[in-house]
Structure formats: C-alpha cells, structure tokens
Structure 1
Amino acid sequence: MITKQALSKDELEAVYKIRKIVFVGEQGVSEEEEYDEHEERAEHVLVYHEGQPVGTGRTRVVEDLAKMERICILPEYRKLGLGRHIMDALETLAQAKGLKKAKLHAQTHAEPFYEKLGYKRISDVFMEADIPHVAMVKAL
C-alpha cells in the first residue's frame, strides 16, 4: 500500500476515474456537481493497493481550515483500512501549510469512520448532492 500526492496527468486522471465510479456511478451525483471549480487549486492524493490506484481524496484551504473533500475508495477495496491512509496523507498536506484545523462534510454513513480518526460532529444533518451529510472538524 502506497499513498501519494497526485501530481501528474496520469495520476489526476486516476483520481477523476475513481471519483466517477464511486460518486457518479455508485451514488448518482451529477458530473457537473462532482467536478467543480476547485479541482486545479485542490491537492489530490491517491492510495494504491497492489500497484493499482483504488482510492482518493482532496484538500484545499477554506477560511484558514483544511477542507477535506471527495474522499472515496473503490467498492471492492473498502474495509482494508485504506481510508485512514488517505486521511493521514491529506492531514499531512494540511499541516505542511501550517493549518491547525480540518473540516469535512461526511456522508452520514461514514460519520463513525471519521469519529475514529478524531473528527467531531458540529452540525445537524444536511443534504449535499441529495445525500445526507454532517459537518465535522478536527484539530491537526
């Protein structure tokens, strides 16, 4: 297992392909909503399993916070502990920028995962892309 920042054209194509499978295909998010104006400014990471890119996430600075976004793993690679590696990589990128706090919008089914990583819920349930979410924060 390797986790690295996605910088090359091929790596970014892998990021977008994984997100298309998970968010667009599996969860029904429109491509217009999934791919937004923040793609070029955000820092993306990929997690590899047996040499294949199987998960991704991105972070960007929003109001002096690291906003963690678009975190996903291909269905057949879930439950292998790869999500923790994505989050560690995103948090490391944020800390390198001197950011002290991270925020994310967690799909409600994923809230327990983020709680295990130290994130605390700070909102009621709200809808984003027609999927129930909660806002969560963590000190870095």
Structure 2
Amino acid sequence: MITTEKVVTPEQLREVFRVRVEVFVEEQGVAAEAEIDEYENSSIHVLALSNGASAGAGRIRVVEETAKLERICVLKPFRTSGTGKAIMIKLEEIAKEMGLKKAKLHAQTQAAGFYEKLGYVSDSDVFLEEGIPHIRMIKALGHV
C-alpha cells in the first residue's frame, strides 16, 4: 500500500534526501551539490512509503503565487506502482490547502506523458536542466 506524508521530522527529511540522491545523483548523474539546494528549508517536502519502506519523494515551493512542484522521484522498485501519482496528489493537495490556483513543474521529457495523464500541459520548448532535457508544464488546480 502506498501512503504519502508531509515531512515534519529531521528523520523524514534525511530519508527524502536519501531517495533523491539515489534517483537523481546515483541513477541519473546529477551533481550532488546541485541536488540539495538553497530551497530545501523553504520547501514543503513529501515522502511516499510502500508498506512502510521509502518509495519516492517530492517538494513544493511557492514561486510567484504558483505551486512549483520539484524533485519528484520514485525509487526503481516502486515505479509503475502508483507511487508517482500518489506524490503528485499529495503535492497538489498541499498547494490547494495553501490557496494556490496553479501548479507548474519542469518535467524530464521522458516523464512528460506521466504528467499529461495527471492534467498537466506543456507550455515551453525543451530545455536542459543538469544536462537532462526538460519541458515546463502547468495545471490549473481545482478547489479543495
């Protein structure tokens, strides 16, 4: 069973960082110093669990009155299990609770189809972030 929780303890935050380093740094080759950034303390983090084991993570920041969803990742064994969708639902829930009307994210192009299924639409050309092709996507958020 997949559950998601808003990170409130230092232990949970360490686990979020461990998951992100495994996916982005070890698997995708993003520089470690680029992965953990200056926005960690001003972001709200989410940890996804599968039967109590860490499965994925994501974070939300408010940028120009918009929910910017970032660092969304799922560990290999949990991909295609609904973990990514659960993370997105939780992040959007938090954004709505904050009164935000729109969400945006920088999707790796290989994951754009996943976000499209969740109602996101592309509004940019392809660009590189940490050497990986991305596209900006947006979605209007409904009411809580």
TM-score range relative to shorter protein? over 0.9
Distance 1:7 1:50 in 2: 19
Distance 2:83 2:99 in 1: 25
Query: How does 1:96-107 map onto structure 2 within 5 Å?
Result: 96-107=97-108
Distance 2:51 2:22 in 1: 19
Give the drift of 1:32: 1.2
Give the drift of 1:31: 1.1
Distance 1:66 1:116 in 2: 19
**Alignment-derived partner of residue 60 in structure 2:** 59
Partner secondary structure for residue 98 of structure 1: coil
**Paired residues, what number?**
140
Aligned partner of 2:85: which letter? Answer: R
How far does the alpha carbon of each residue in 1:77-115 deviate from its partner, in whole angstroms, 9 at most, with x for none? 101011110000000111111000000000000000000
Partner secondary structure for residue 99 of structure 2: coil
Q: Structure 1: any 5+ residue segments left out of the alignment? A: none
Aligned partner of 1:86: which letter? Answer: I
Partner secondary structure for residue 100 of structure 2: coil
Partner secondary structure for residue 79 of structure 1: coil
Partner secondary structure for residue 33 of structure 2: helix
**Alignment-derived partner of residue 46 in structure 1:** 47
Query: How does 1:1-140 map onto structure 2 within 5 Å?
Result: 1-140=2-141
Aligned partner of 2:100: which letter? Answer: L
Partner secondary structure for residue 73 of structure 2: strand
Partner secondary structure for residue 80 of structure 1: coil
Q: Structure 2: any 5+ residue segments left out of the alignment? A: none
Distance 2:66 2:108 in 1: 19
Aligned partner of 1:7: which letter? Answer: V
Identity of aligned residues (%): 52
CA RMSD of aligned residues (A): 0.5
Distance 1:89 1:131 in 2: 25
